[in-house]
Amino acid sequence: MNRRGRLIRRIRMVFYTLAGLAAFSFLTAVVSFFVLLDQLPRVPEPLSRIIERPPTEIYAATGERVLVLGGREAVPLNRISPRFVEAVVAVEDHRFWSHHGIDKIRLTRAFLDGLAPHRRVRGTSTITQQLAKNLFFSLDRSLKRKFLEILVACQIESRYSKEEILQAYINNTSFGVNALGIEQASRSFFGKPASDLNLAEASLLAGLPQSPSGYNPYRHMDRAKRRQRTVLGRMAAVGYITPKESDEAFESPLDLRPRQASGGGSYFLDKVIRDLEERYGPEVVYNGGLRVTTTLDIQLQRWAAEAVEKGAGRLDREIGLLQTNAAENQTAVPQVALAAVDVNSGAVKAVVGGRDYFKSEYNRAVQNNRQPGSGFKPFLYYAALDSPGITPATVFTDKKVTIPVRGAPDWTPDNFGREHAGPMILKRALMNSVNSIAAQLIVELKPAGVIETARKCGISSPLAEVYSIALGTSGASPLEMASAFGVFASGGVRHEPFWIWRVEDAYGRALEEHIVSGENALNPETVFQLVDMLRGVVDRGTAQAIRTMGFSLPAAGKTGTSNDYMDAWFTGFTPGLSVSIWTGYDAGKGLRDRNGVGITGGRAAAPIWADFMIKATGGEPAREFTVPPGIHFETVDDRTGYLTEEGSPNALRVALKPGQNPEPAPPAFYAPAAERENERPSAAGPD
Amino acid sequence: MDWCEPRDFSDWFGRFFSLRSLTFILIVALLVIFEFRFDWMEKALGSYLSTTNRQRPETGEIWETAHDTEQARNSLNEITVDRETLQRNARGAVDLADIISFIAENQSVMISPEHFRSLYMKLPRSIASKIIAPNDLLRLLGEGEWERTYFRKYGNQLSIYLIDGSNRALCEIAVPDSTLVQIERRRIVFSGSLEEWGFAPERIRPANRFFSSLGSLPEDVRAEILARPEDILSAGGRLVRVGFPPQGQAEWVDIGFELDDGSQRQVVILPAREWALGRLRTAEESAALSGPVIRNPETGIEP
């Protein structure tokens, strides 16, 4: 065969191949169309139906909206910054206004790019196709899905205007950080409505839908900026902005809303969402459009977060941790949790469940079950004061005690300093957190009585009926402790802690509302005696740090430190607010400073409490705890319990019930001290 | 005409540039250009698909979400409709027994203080004072903070909260099971004799015998047998006979009091505690009292 013949043969082959391919493609397309027609989803009419899902809105007690769940916060195009609309069109589909669902020029180019080796095939999806994909199809990449997507895009284009399509797309696109639609994204990232976005902000947000997590500016600001540069470049190329505007926008600083602020109540909101899911089911919570008014106090929550952050930093420094280490591994750093409860209603006002919600969502304020140590003693002392014969002025001897335990080795509790101070009244014993006297009390009262008191105060965690419960060896959460101490603050009235004031449906019809009702759980006179003793802890006892830090309002509380400094607590209250602070490692490590000295509740937790309370009560007038009728005050010697003059050495004021009258010091009191050591004076008088 | 393949290059060339081929190519080119310019294919396809839209299935993420939303809406509707129905019933309640009867466990309703006061006033004094002392009610009304009354049933107990504008309970009342039964078992009046209302003749006593046995019992037991004597007094007529139910029926049983006003007889049914009635029977036996036999005036049967 000659050369011409070969050429003809080749042309013939190419011609028939192309003709065959064209015919095959055409036939395949036609057959596929009719085969897949049944699988095409119905397009909602009107298209705006997709944005008719009311979001569940969660509000703070003070009225601010703090979270939007599910739903679509859709806004019409005229309430979206034109810069954002231009940015989206420029970067996603600049021929959007002229094509009919398929950008054939881009498709042809992509086809040609595909033929050429080593050339990256560019994305060909138009905004309409992306809308179709977002509405109906999963993320799987297949020819069939692509074909269906094109068909749906064609239908959408012939049925709806470009503005409707763009509006639906913008309101139905994910921007990351749980923001669906531009309004949510704008509020999440910049704390402003979508209408107020400037060029820099609009271009940053317009770049996110391509990879919401990859370009998340909170995590990858460098990538987000690169993407912003691309968007601005496209806007300039299309002619929406000049290159100069593009450069200026790129250079202008981005005022991103602090992540902590947006999630300031996240531990709190997590709990609220979980409660709602339990009551109504996740479908209702995420699709039902509830309006939930919580007990959250935004300002208190902010101050709580600040106090925790500051306290955690202080702890890191004392321990000798580098800030970089502290930022990375959450189990290697000490954690802090805070729970604040309104004394007069039980409303949970602020909760911080750890140092950084975004690194560890475990809510230590609610879910933790850690030993409160001496922080548990108020329940023991209440039980003691409520039993006949014991008053705050009753003298016990701080001495080494060994308590036989049936079926177990003897129990010999040590004091914190491993020293014993001899006789002292109960108020002093609580102020100084003397373990040996707590041990003597539990032997007299039996553990069941103490557990009963704790239960009356609302401690619901399992409590072991053992002597060591006096020293807080059974775990509790900061929320339980704050709520239980709130019973002391309210004079013995117990309010169940709660998180939600009211739940309404989307039409404002009430589904539930919380009724504040208190239960008289404890004897108000005994409670006041205990409160007076706990005031001593703050004023002159183990939590004096609170006063040295400048908190001057009437307050009471108790420090607690568990074995080996695993947990350091302070739970304290004013007549209005009860707050519990826990600090410690998540697992297996005690709190020790760089010199190896253990860190106690008074050193780690009390300053955080003071930091928070100084702000939380700022500007409030001093409010005293209500003194029940019949209570009278006497000044006694804190070693003997005998009446003494105010201002004399060892003088301590105690609150006493009617009939509890300390005696004046008898002449025998002036006998040598050694003789007195052996007797146990009952200086509380006839009681 | 038979078609044959072009044999050489000039044949190919000739055929390619023939009028027919050129027309065909021109038409194809025009179609392509028009497609690029006017998107006719997409428009035709889109229009066709729009016509078949209603027949297609509601599948895909957006429809799933829509169905979830619908379901959520329905669930919420159910809850709110239930609540509203309950609330409507509560507003229409004419006495406390009405409210008790329709609140199920863990359900709650809210009524106004005025409405509560009217329900309270309809209660027999003995029961009303068990719920709240009239003086306390007066004080609360006078203080002006009481805005709503909230009822909630926990187990067998009804809790009533008199609450202020910020949902704080000014007063919390726990109404125990026994009081609830007394409220719920209202006086029932029938015309006719005890026998007609199912009381067996051997369980019917003359009224004086009943009262003499009752008088021998302690006050608290008497209160469990005849808690609301005013219900009998208000019926009118002279009490002639008392009928008892069979023993061991239930915790609460019905006692029938037969009254005669000269022209007709009527029976008042009142609730009583079975255990207290047992005490009454024992008292009767031990006293061996045998009162005068009163024949039923209509049947002539002696009890």
Q: What is the DSSP letter of A3?
A: H
Partners of B74 on chain A (C-beta within 8 Å) are: none
Mean pLDDT of B274-302: 64
Q: So what's the pLDDT on residue A670?
A: 53
- Is the domain of A16 the same as that of A163? no
- Is the domain of A194 the same as that of A93? yes
> Are B50 and A158 inside 8 Å of each other by CB?
yes
B35 vs A607 pLDDT, higher one: A607
Q: What is the mean pLDDT of chain A?
A: 88
A659 vs B197 pLDDT, higher one: A659
How far apart CA A128 and CA A163 sit, in angstroms, is 11
Which residues, at least 6 apart from A517, have a Cβ–Cβ distance to it below 8 Å? A495, B161, B168, B169, B172
> Are B72 and A283 inside 8 Å of each other by CB?
yes
Q: Which two tokens stand for residue B41?
A: 């294919």
Q: So what's the pLDDT on residue A324?
A: 54
Question: Of B15, B37, B39, which to mutate for an interface test with A (greatest number of A Cβ within 10 Å)?
Answer: B39
H helix intervals, B190-262: 207-215, 219-225, 229-233
Nearest CA-CA distance, residue A171 and chain B, Å: 13
A482 vs B251 pLDDT, higher one: A482
Q: So what's the pLDDT on residue A147?
A: 87
- Long-range contacts, stretch A401-408, CB < 8 angstroms, 24+ apart: A401/A436, A401/A439, A401/A440, A403/A439, A403/A443, A403/A467, A405/A466, A405/A467
Which residues, at least 6 apart from A28, have a Cβ–Cβ distance to it below 8 Å? none
Partners of A5 on chain B (C-beta within 8 Å) are: 8
CA atoms within 13 A of residue A189's CA, in its CB half-sphere:
33
Nearest CA-CA distance, residue B97 and chain A, Å: 23
Nearest CA-CA distance, residue B52 and chain A, Å: 9
Partners of B163 on chain A (C-beta within 8 Å) are: 515-516
Mean pLDDT of B269-289: 80
Residue A640 has pLDDT above 60, yes or no: yes
Indicate the residue of B46, B169, B172 with minimum beta-carbon distance to A158. B46
CA A342 → CA A101, A350, A522, A586, distances in Å? 58, 10, 18, 27
Indicate the residue of A4, A157, A284 with minimum beta-carbon distance to B8. A4
Cis bond before residue A46 (omega within 30° of 0) = yes
* Domain assignment present for A240: yes
User: Cβ of A99 under 8 Å from any chain B Cβ?
Assistant: yes
- Is the domain of A10 the same as that of A119? no
Chain B residue with CA closest to A33: the answer is B45
Residue B39 has pLDDT above 90, yes or no: no
Q: So what's the pLDDT on residue B187?
A: 62
Mean pLDDT of A252-273: 76
Nearest CA-CA distance, residue A436 and chain B, Å: 42
Chain A residue with CA closest to B78: the answer is A511
Res. A681 pLDDT band, cuts 50 70 90: very low
- Number of residues that this document lists for chain B: 303
Residue A261 has pLDDT above 50, yes or no: no
> Are A284 and B75 inside 8 Å of each other by CB?
yes
Q: Which two tokens stand for residue B112?
A: 């106004």
User: Cβ of A280 under 8 Å from any chain B Cβ?
Assistant: yes
Lowest mean pLDDT among A297-301, A567-571, A644-648, B43-47: A644-648
- Provide the chain A residues 233-272 that lie in CB contact (below 8 A) with chain B: none
Q: So what's the pLDDT on residue A122?
A: 66
* Domain assignment present for A45: no
Q: Which of these three, A232, A257, A282, is where a domain ends?
A: A257
Residue B293 has pLDDT above 60, yes or no: no
How far apart CA A569 and CA A378 sit, in angstroms, is 13
- Looking up tokens 């006297």 gives A437
How far apart CA A544 and CA A607 sit, in angstroms, is 10
For A450-473, how does the pLDDT look when each residue is reduced to its tens digit (9 = 90+)? 999 999 999 999 999 999 999 999
* Domain assignment present for A408: no
Mean pLDDT of B183-207: 80
Indicate the residue of B57, B62, B161 with minimum beta-carbon distance to A135. B62
Give residue A5's Cα distance to chain centre. 82
Q: So what's the pLDDT on residue B248?
A: 65
Mean pLDDT of A68-78: 81
Indicate the residue of B60, B75, B150 with minimum beta-carbon distance to A137. B60
* Domain assignment present for A156: yes
Give residue A138's Cα distance to chain centre. 33
B19-38 vs B40-51: helix axis angle to the nearest 10? 60
Residue A366 has pLDDT above 80, yes or no: yes
Tell me the torsion sign for CA atoms A165, A168, A171, A173: negative
H helix intervals, A289-347: 298-319, 323-328
H helix intervals, A446-548: 447-456, 478-489, 524-540, 545-548
Mean pLDDT of A263-273: 79
Q: So what's the pLDDT on residue A342?
A: 97
User: Which residues of A are annotated as catalytic?
Assistant: 92, 374
Q: What is the DSSP letter of A664?
A: B
User: Cβ of A345 under 8 Å from any chain B Cβ?
Assistant: yes
> Are B76 and A511 inside 8 Å of each other by CB?
yes
Residue A502 has pLDDT above 50, yes or no: yes
The DSSP element (H or E) to which B204 belongs, if any, is strand B204-206
Res. B70 pLDDT band, cuts 50 70 90: confident
How far apart CA A628 and CA A71 sit, in angstroms, is 52
Are the C-beta atoms of residues B276 and B175 closer than 8 Å to each other?
Answer: no
- Percent helix, strand, coil in chain A (nearest 5)? 45, 15, 40
Percentage of the residues of chain A whose pLDDT score is greater than 70: 92
> Are A157 and B42 inside 8 Å of each other by CB?
yes
Which residues, at least 6 apart from A603, have a Cβ–Cβ distance to it below 8 Å? A318, A545, A568
Q: Which of these three, A239, A257, A275, is where a domain ends?
A: A257
Q: So what's the pLDDT on residue B59?
A: 87
Residue A645 has pLDDT above 70, yes or no: yes
Partners of B31 on chain A (C-beta within 8 Å) are: none
Are the C-beta atoms of residues A415 and A437 closer than 8 Å to each other?
Answer: no
ipTM of this complex: 0.73
How far apart CA A129 and CA A134 sit, in angstroms, is 9
Residue B287 has pLDDT above 90, yes or no: no
**What predicted TM-score, i.e. pTM, was given to this entire model?**
0.76
Res. A2 pLDDT band, cuts 50 70 90: confident
- CATH code at position A210: 1.10.3810.10
Domain boundaries, chain B: 10-48, 93-181, 187-287
For A83-115, how does the pLDDT look when each residue is reduced to its tens digit (9 = 90+)? 999 999 999 999 999 999 999 888 888 878 777
Chain B residue with CA closest to A159: the answer is B50
Domain of residue A166, residue span: 73-257
Angle subtended at Cα A369 by Cα A367 and Cα A371, rounded to the nearest 5 degrees: 150
Q: Which two tokens stand for residue B157?
A: 């107990």
Are the C-beta atoms of residues A203 and A232 closer than 8 Å to each other?
Answer: yes
Lowest mean pLDDT among A32-46, A276-290, B95-109, B182-196: B182-196
- Is the domain of A25 the same as that of A139? no
For A368-411, how does the pLDDT look when each residue is reduced to its tens digit (9 = 90+)? 999 999 999 999 999 999 999 899 999 999 998 888 888 778 88
- Long-range contacts, stretch B104-107, CB < 8 angstroms, 24+ apart: B104/B153, B105/B153, B105/B154, B105/B155, B106/B152, B106/B153, B106/B154, B107/B152, B107/B153
Q: So what's the pLDDT on residue B188?
A: 67
Residue A613 has pLDDT above 70, yes or no: yes
> Looking at the 3D structure of chain A, how many domains does it have?
3
Lowest mean pLDDT among A218-222, B52-56, B295-299: B295-299
For A510-536, how does the pLDDT look when each residue is reduced to its tens digit (9 = 90+)? 999 999 988 999 999 999 999 999 999
> Are A517 and B72 inside 8 Å of each other by CB?
no
* Domain assignment present for A301: no
- Looking up tokens 């269906």 gives A148
How far apart CA A376 and CA A485 sit, in angstroms, is 10
Q: So what's the pLDDT on residue B272?
A: 83
Q: So what's the pLDDT on residue A260?
A: 47
For A169-210, how does the pLDDT look when each residue is reduced to its tens digit (9 = 90+)? 999 898 987 788 899 899 889 989 999 999 999 999 999 999
Res. A683 pLDDT band, cuts 50 70 90: very low
- Is the domain of A120 the same as that of A34? no
Which residues, at least 6 apart from A65, have a Cβ–Cβ distance to it below 8 Å? A57, A58, A59
> Are A41 and B58 inside 8 Å of each other by CB?
yes
Residue A123 has pLDDT above 60, yes or no: yes
Nearest CA-CA distance, residue B159 and chain A, Å: 11
Q: So what's the pLDDT on residue A680?
A: 40
Q: Is A427 exposed, middle or buried (0-12, 13-18, 19+ CB in 10 A)?
A: buried
Q: So what's the pLDDT on residue A685?
A: 30
Mean pLDDT of A598-608: 94
Q: What is the CA radius of gyration of chain B?
A: 42
Indicate the residue of B52, B62, B84 with minimum beta-carbon distance to A44. B62
β-bridge pairing A65-69 and B108-111: unpaired
Chain A residue with CA closest to B69: the answer is A287
Indicate the residue of B42, B58, B79 with minimum beta-carbon distance to A101. B42
Q: Which two tokens stand for residue B159?
A: 């809790």
A430 vs B233 pLDDT, higher one: A430
